[in-house]
Amino acid sequence: MSISVFDLFTVGIGPSSSHTVGPMKAARAFVDGLRAQGLLADVARVRAELYGSLALTGKGHGSDSAVVLGLLGQAPDGVDVDAVPRLLSDVAERGRLALGGEHEIAFAPGDDVVFRRRESLPGHPNGMRFTALDASGSELRAEVCYSVGGGFVVDEKAVGSDRIRTDDTPLPHPFATASELLELCRGTGMSVSALMLANETAFGRSADQVRAGLLEIWRVMRQCVRRGVTTEGTLPGGLRVPRRAHRLYRQLGGACDASGLLRPDTAHETDPMRGSDWVTLYALAVNEENAAGGRVVTAPTNGAAGIVPAVLHYYTHFSPGAGDEGVVRFLLTAGAIGILFKENASISGAEVGCQGEVGSASSMAAGGLVEALGGTPEQVENAAEIAMEHNLGLTCDPIGGLVQVPCIERNALASVKAIAAARIALRGDGSHFVSLDKVIETVRTTGRDMSDKYKETSRGGLAVNVIEC
């Protein structure tokens, strides 16, 4: 049973992979199930019920809007983000919704998307129930599913120890832990990225297709940064948080080349810390786009989507000899680390707090940077461990249930931390006291022990200590 790097890096929309992308996928899949069973034409009404964290912070994350879009047949990677307001207003004004884009039913978003704030489903904090009824009110089909982080959606049968798996594709170099990954690298003489590339070809893609797919992911990341630094105004949601990336970009100067990279003018730079300002800029740009519902890449989640792109931009701008091959190696290695977190802990803020989102992304970026800079597998593992070790216990307490405060700045700081972790690891020989496996296990147990109010419910921490105004 296997996870691809393209399962972790997926193109979607903001503001949340678990609370926006997941519900959209789930609603679309429910409609597809109705169609496959020949029931679509008999549907007169659909009810969507959101539970647990989805209910508590769903309004701020646009979960109800995501459900509507999914019922319309829209997909996170294909929906026109500029058309979303029109699609939603059309449903609200007409009180009608075309299921899958083809069968119209009466639908009132305020009544037919229900937030069960005081209830949870047993499989995961992000639970959903969809029910289709006919004209007499009889149930045609009902389904419970869970959004388990990073846009992954599973049904009741997959809940439990196996819920993180995607399929049964046999891999040439299977690994379940970091220690197994290192042993494979030693035994084969392969780098982490080379081993991951070999595994990726088992999913039916050639090596060239994998490289092309990853460079397309990188292109979308660059576009997201460009939109983030050129868009002004205030983020939606009621907190009135101003966008800052455009102003910071003007302060820093630089230019945009033909490939879409925002390049600093390093030739005339005198401030030795200006590089960290650029890393901050890249992360802010991505996460402001995410908060505004723009097009982003889960990496491995939307809430942590700015970290990998920020560190990749750092690599391309500040590393001699950087190029596309290094970008590919970076993303393959980051994907390997992300798989370890998803298989052995969680990347869901609703399950383990923000350590599972920002922490895992920082770890992925640190390891990816070491790989791109020519580090050994042992140094990759060391960098990933350092970055995660210093994100342990990080809570998820968004003010107003919005992926804005403290989420946006948190991505910027975690990006700088990832670079520092990589530099520490590259100065050593890869040997260290705490293993990545031990840190990942600590994420899991810390998340289990963490109070639910600190796990994306907006019932603790900053969310209750800062007035929403």
pLDDT at 167 over 80: no
pLDDT at 444 over 70: yes
User: Can you tell me the mean pLDDT for 364-392?
Assistant: 98
Return the pLDDT at 33: 97
Q: What percent of the chain has pLDDT over 90?
A: 89
Among the listed residues 325, 287, 288, the one whose alpha carbon sits nearest the alpha carbon of residue 308: 287
Return the pLDDT at 391: 97
Residues 308-334: pLDDT tens digits? 999 999 999 999 999 999 999 999 999
Instruction: Kindly indicate the confidence band of residue 191, based on its pLDDT and cuts at 50, 70 and 90.
Output: very high
Q: Which of 59-73, 150-164, 273-287, 403-417 has the lowest mean pLDDT?
A: 150-164
Decide if 125 contacts 22 (C-beta within 8 A). no
pLDDT at 13 over 70: yes
Q: What is the mean pLDDT of the chain?
A: 93
Query: 13-158 in CATH: which number?
Result: 3.30.1330.90
CATH class for the domain made up of 178-202+205-454: mainly alpha
Return the pLDDT at 2: 82
Amino acid at 399: I
Domain with CATH 3.30.1330.90 in the chain: 13-158
Decide if 306 contacts 297 (C-beta within 8 A). no
Return the pLDDT at 157: 78
Domain with CATH 1.10.4100 in the chain: 178-202+205-454
For 237, phi and psi rounded to 5 degrees? 120, -15
Return the pLDDT at 169: 85
> Which two structure tokens, joined as six digits, stand for 192?
């982490």
What does the alpha-carbon distance between residue 343 and residue 178 come to, in Å, rounded to a whole number? 11
pLDDT at 260 over 60: no
Count of CB atoms situated within 10 Å of the CB of 377: 26
What does the alpha-carbon distance between residue 62 and residue 66 come to, in Å, rounded to a whole number? 6
